[in-house]
Chains A and B, each alone.
Chain A
Amino acid sequence: MEDSAIIDLYWARADAAVQETQRKYGPYCHRIAYGILASREDAEECVNDTWLRAWNAIPPQRPDRLSAFLGRLTRNLALDRWKRDHAEKRGGGETALALSELEGCLPAANPAARADGDGPLAESLDRFLAGLRREQRRVFLMRYWHLTPVRDIAARTGYTESKVAAMLHRLRGRLKAHLEREGIAV
């Protein structure tokens, strides 16, 4: 079913809205949640929460890109759950690995840098990503948005794993330099 038709179901408050969403985007959202939580049961709960969030958000929203809208809901829910579950213990799983990778690209503390919420950071990230070539942006977001394992990125892109790892290493370096230039404190 086309996304526009699914969204129309939400607006009509039809039960079929969630069914159609689950049919079309269930595996996609499950993959995102599982990639973060590494637990089928937790991922399933997260995806179910996604449908509830979507039901409550549409209307009044009418997403332009339903897959990205749903994916973002799932990702945020999964990350929140991951943080809650791992408040005391750290390590393991793609989320922890991705976080440890991103630590290396954070600029040194700058007392004069801005630290006033995530708006400037998000805008800076947007500018950083806009300056990348499509393939670079894809690999970066596959790793740090979709939390895809490096091996899977290699399989999907056709690059070797060593190339993907090196690519991400350089992109993180560029991100650090970009954040420093823009005076962003994370």
Chain B
Amino acid sequence: MNTDAERLLEALGGVREVWIEDAAPERMVRRRSWRRWIALAACLAVVAAAAYSGTRLAEAWNWAALVQNFRPLAALEAIPGGTPAPAPTPVPTLNGLPLLTIRESGDMGMGFEGIMVRDVSELDTGSPWTPEAEVSALPVYRNTAYTDYMPVAPDGGAAMLALAEETAAALGTEITQVTYERVGEHAFGTTLPDSAVDGLEAETPLAEIRVDPSGSVGIFFEPYAALPDGSETSSREAAERVTDLLLEQYADLHGYVEPRRMIATDYTFNGVPITDLRACDGAGSVEEQMLSRSFHRVWFGVSEGGELHVLWLEHGLTYAEKLGDYPIISPEEAEALLREGHFITTVPQEEAPTGAWPVAHVDLVYRASGYEEIYLPYYKFWVELPRNPNIEMAEELTMYGAYYVPAVEGKYLTNMPLWDGSFN
């Protein structure tokens, strides 16, 4: 063994303590992916109304009611102690809709979005959208937590605290201590104020609740929540059973009218399956289900011992302002754009996908990790990648990379992506 590597490993022991703490697995806050729903003002209005009237949170998360109750961003300015988001710079409009500029501060800067599966059918994770669905327009939102460094709460964390409190109540417990995470301890080379809030931790007797400015709420059970004997997720059928059980058990938390399972399977390089238990609300129109899938998805983390150790529930539009309903292109038009290089990807391939790279699956999703200034829909193409001789991968696996093409008609974009040969 190379002792120089040992010296490197040991020298890492002396890095700054704040970084060590921040990277402790127990503290890891997941930031990303499954996207949020409910406009911020509507969310606050509903949460406040639920609190005052004693309405069940489950009822409060009714999509139709939230849409009806939507209020503009200006309502945030009334929150005591909050920092109102700056008024957006006036932008040109087209047909009454603001033109959109795609800007991401890029937590996806390293690594790529790929998946390894045994069969192409495993790329279908139960999305409410299919290419046959006739969706002509979808809402676009401005992320009011966006900065060019990382998401921070525009209201000092008030809405995040409300989410934590409602979550605790839905679990039948209460918060005993709240700690805010602030940018000052982590930010280097940014003009963000040290006091800006980029996370919240709330302790309860049942679990630790963590909230971030993307609206992600993570519930870390202490101890792990027991499941019925024999609960395991090694097969698709077993995963579905456990997901149904958990959806029923935590109905007060997610509030879905018609829970819709979204089971995803990825594999390790050795071919060991890893099953993700996810769900969204399957009630309402395709558009409503899509928004639930992107902005109000739930993920259950079940340990190998058959215990629930973490639950993530997205409230992705907690800090968002609706810009309008934008017409979208067809999947065929999007694939044509893909072939012309108009995509966003993190796949490190030297050539853009051509006809030789088959599209295995397409979905319609939002990119809304909190690191995007605008939450707009994209066609997500899973493209089969050539086998990489430098990566040892089980023979039965095929790797696919994700390519995103804006679904909004191009005339509403100021900067349609064009692949320049680099990857994010």
Residues of A that sit less than 8 Å from B by CB = 28, 31, 63-65, 67-69, 71-72, 75-76, 79, 83, 86, 90, 95-96, 98-100, 102-103, 106, 118, 121-122, 125-126, 129-131, 133-142, 144-146, 148, 151-168, 170-171, 186
Q: Do the beta carbons of A186 and B4 come within 8 Å of each other?
A: yes
Inter-chain CA distance A166–B268, complex, in Å, is 13
Q: Do the beta carbons of A144 and B9 come within 8 Å of each other?
A: yes
Report if B241 contacts A (CB, 8 A).
no
Q: Do the beta carbons of B8 and A106 come within 8 Å of each other?
A: yes
A69, A135, A161, A166: residue with the most chain B Cβ atoms closer than 10 Å: A135
* Residue in A122, A133, A141 whose CB lies within 8 Å of B107: A133
A155 to chain B, nearest CB (A): 6
Inter-chain CA distance A162–B388, complex, in Å, is 13
B1, B115, B268: residue with the most chain A Cβ atoms closer than 10 Å: B1
A67, A68, A75, A129: residue with the most chain B Cβ atoms closer than 10 Å: A68
Q: Do the beta carbons of B32 and A137 come within 8 Å of each other?
A: no
Q: Do the beta carbons of B25 and A145 come within 8 Å of each other?
A: no
A84 to chain B, nearest CB (A): 12
> Which stretch of B12-20, B35-43, B73-81 is in the interface?
B12-20
Q: In the complex, which residues of chain B have a beta carbon less than 8 angstroms from the beta carbon of A163?
A: 111-114
Q: Do the beta carbons of B7 and A118 come within 8 Å of each other?
A: yes
A118 nearest in chain B by CB position:
B11
Q: Do the beta carbons of A156 and B30 come within 8 Å of each other?
A: yes
Instruction: Beyond A67-B20, A162-B112, A166-B112, list 8 extra A-B contacts (CB 8 Å).
Output: A28-B24, A86-B1, A102-B8, A129-B16, A134-B186, A137-B19, A137-B23, A168-B111
Q: Do the beta carbons of B112 and A141 come within 8 Å of each other?
A: no
* Residue in B9, B17, B274 whose CB lies within 8 Å of A79: B9
Report if B86 contacts A (CB, 8 A).
no
Inter-chain CA distance A157–B25, complex, in Å, is 9
In the complex with contacts A122-B11, A126-B15, A142-B28, A99-B110 CB distance below 8 A: no
In the complex with contacts A146-B24, A160-B113, A161-B274, A106-B269 CB distance below 8 A: no
B59 to chain A, nearest CB (A): 29
A79, A98, A151, A157: residue with the most chain B Cβ atoms closer than 10 Å: A157
Inter-chain CA distance A161–B268, complex, in Å, is 7
Inter-chain CA distance A158–B276, complex, in Å, is 10
Inter-chain CA distance A51–B269, complex, in Å, is 39
Report if B399 contacts A (CB, 8 A).
yes
User: Which 7 pairs between the two chains have the least Cβ-Cβ distance?
Assistant: A167-B111, A68-B17, A141-B23, A158-B30, A156-B28, A163-B111, A166-B111
Q: In the complex, which residues of chain B have a beta carbon less than 8 angstroms from the beta carbon of A151?
A: 268, 274
Q: In the complex, which residues of chain A have a beta carbon less than 8 angstroms from the beta carbon of B112?
A: 162-163, 166
Inter-chain CA distance A14–B105, complex, in Å, is 49
Inter-chain CA distance A79–B188, complex, in Å, is 30
Residues of B that sit less than 8 Å from A by CB = 1-2, 4-26, 28, 30-33, 106-107, 109-116, 150, 186, 188, 266, 268-269, 274, 299, 301, 312, 348, 399
A interface majority secondary structure? helix
22 intermolecular pairs with C-beta atoms under 8 Å apart: A31-B26, A67-B24, A90-B1, A99-B5, A102-B5, A126-B15, A130-B188, A133-B109, A133-B150, A137-B22, A139-B23, A142-B25, A156-B30, A157-B30, A158-B32, A158-B312, A161-B266, A162-B112, A162-B399, A163-B114, A186-B4, A186-B5
Q: In the complex, which residues of chain B have a beta carbon less than 8 angstroms from the beta carbon of A158?
A: 30-33, 299, 312
Inter-chain CA distance A138–B181, complex, in Å, is 15
Inter-chain CA distance A64–B247, complex, in Å, is 42
Q: Do the beta carbons of A72 and B13 come within 8 Å of each other?
A: yes
Q: Do the beta carbons of A129 and B111 come within 8 Å of each other?
A: no
In the complex with contacts A102-B5, A136-B109, A160-B115 CB distance below 8 A: yes
Inter-chain CA distance A129–B23, complex, in Å, is 12
Q: Do the beta carbons of B25 and A146 come within 8 Å of each other?
A: yes
Q: In the complex, which residues of chain A have a beta carbon less than 8 angstroms from the beta carbon of B21?
A: 65, 67-68
Q: In the complex, which residues of chain B have a beta carbon less than 8 angstroms from the beta carbon of A64?
A: 17
B383 to chain A, nearest CB (A): 14
In the complex with contacts A100-B5, A158-B31, A162-B399, A145-B20 CB distance below 8 A: yes
Q: Do the beta carbons of A103 and B15 come within 8 Å of each other?
A: no
Q: In the complex, which residues of chain A have a beta carbon less than 8 angstroms from the beta carbon of B1?
A: 86, 90, 96, 99-100
Inter-chain CA distance A166–B278, complex, in Å, is 24
A129, A134, A137, A166: residue with the most chain B Cβ atoms closer than 10 Å: A134
B14 nearest in chain A by CB position:
A122
In the complex with contacts A98-B9, A141-B12, A159-B32 CB distance below 8 A: yes
Q: Do the beta carbons of A166 and B107 come within 8 Å of each other?
A: no
Q: Do the beta carbons of A186 and B8 come within 8 Å of each other?
A: yes
In the complex with contacts A125-B15, A142-B28, A158-B31, A71-B111 CB distance below 8 A: no
A141 to chain B, nearest CB (A): 4
Q: In the complex, which residues of chain B have a beta carbon less than 8 angstroms from the beta carbon of A139?
A: 23, 110
